[in-house]
Amino acid sequence: MRDLLIAAQTQESDTAREQTKAEQDVDLVRQRSVRDQQRLDSGAVSSPKDLENLQREIASLAKRQSDLEDVVLEVMERREALQERVAELTGRVESVTAKVAEAEARKNAALKEIDAEGFKAAKEREVIADAVPADLLKLYDKIRVQSGGVGAAKLYQKRCEGCRLELNITELNEVRAAPADSVVRCENCSRILVRTPESGL
C-alpha cells in the first residue's frame, strides 16, 4: 500500500511540474501576443506588409495559446485525478497502519498475559514438583524432552491423550491390573499415563 502511495505521489509530483511548464508556455505566448497587439495598436508599424505579418502572427499566437491552454486543462485534470488517488491511498495507509498498531498492542498484551501465565505455571510446577518423588520427576523430565514438551498424558476412554491412539485390550488389562500408585506408560509414545475415573478401565 505504501509502494502504491509513493508511486501515486511521484506521478502527482511529475504532473505538477508538467502543469507548471505548460502554464509557463501559455504565459510566454500570451506576453508575446500582448506585445504584438500593443505594437499594432500604437501605430508604430506603418508598412502594410509588416502590418499584415503582425496580424498574422497575432492570430497564430492566439491559436497557439488556445492549444496550450487545452494542454494545461488536460494536465490539470490528470493531476486532480492523481491528487484524489493520493488522498485515497493516504487514507488507506493510515487505516492499515492503525490496524497494525492495534494488532501490535493486542499481541503485546497477549504476550504479557502468556508470560504471566507461564510464570504462574512455573511457580505451581515448583510446588507440585516438590511433592513428587525425585526418580519419578527425573523420568517425567526425560520423557518430556523426548516427546516435545509433554511427559505425561491423561488416559481418557481407553485412549492416550498424548499420541491420541487407543490402547489395545492387552495394554488396557495391564494398566487395569497395575497398582494405583505405580507408574504406567503408553506403549505407543512412552508417556506416563495419568489414570482417572474417565479412563475407561
Q: How many domains does the chain have?
A: 2
pLDDT per position as a tens digit, 147-169: 888 899 999 999 999 999 999 89
Regarding whether 107 and 55 lie in a shared domain, the answer is: yes
pLDDT confidence tier of residue 48, bands split at 50, 70 and 90? confident
Cα separation, 104 vs 109, in Å, equals: 8
The confidence band for 43, taking pLDDT boundaries of 50, 70 and 90, is confident
Mark which of 120, 145, 164 sits at the end of a domain.
Answer: 120
Query: What are the pLDDT digits (tens) for 84-141?
Result: 999 999 999 999 999 999 999 999 999 999 999 999 999 998 888 888 888 888 999 9
Could you identify the residue written with the cell 492523481?
A: 82
Q: Do both 23 and 63 map to the same domain? A: yes
- Are 99 and 142 within one domain? no
pTM: 0.49
The answer to whether the CB of 172 falls within 8 A of the CB of 181 is no
Domain boundary residue among 62, 91, 120? 120
Q: Is residue 126 part of a domain?
A: no
Nearest-angstrom CA–CA distance, 110 and 103: 10
What is the domain extent for residue 145?
Answer: 134-194
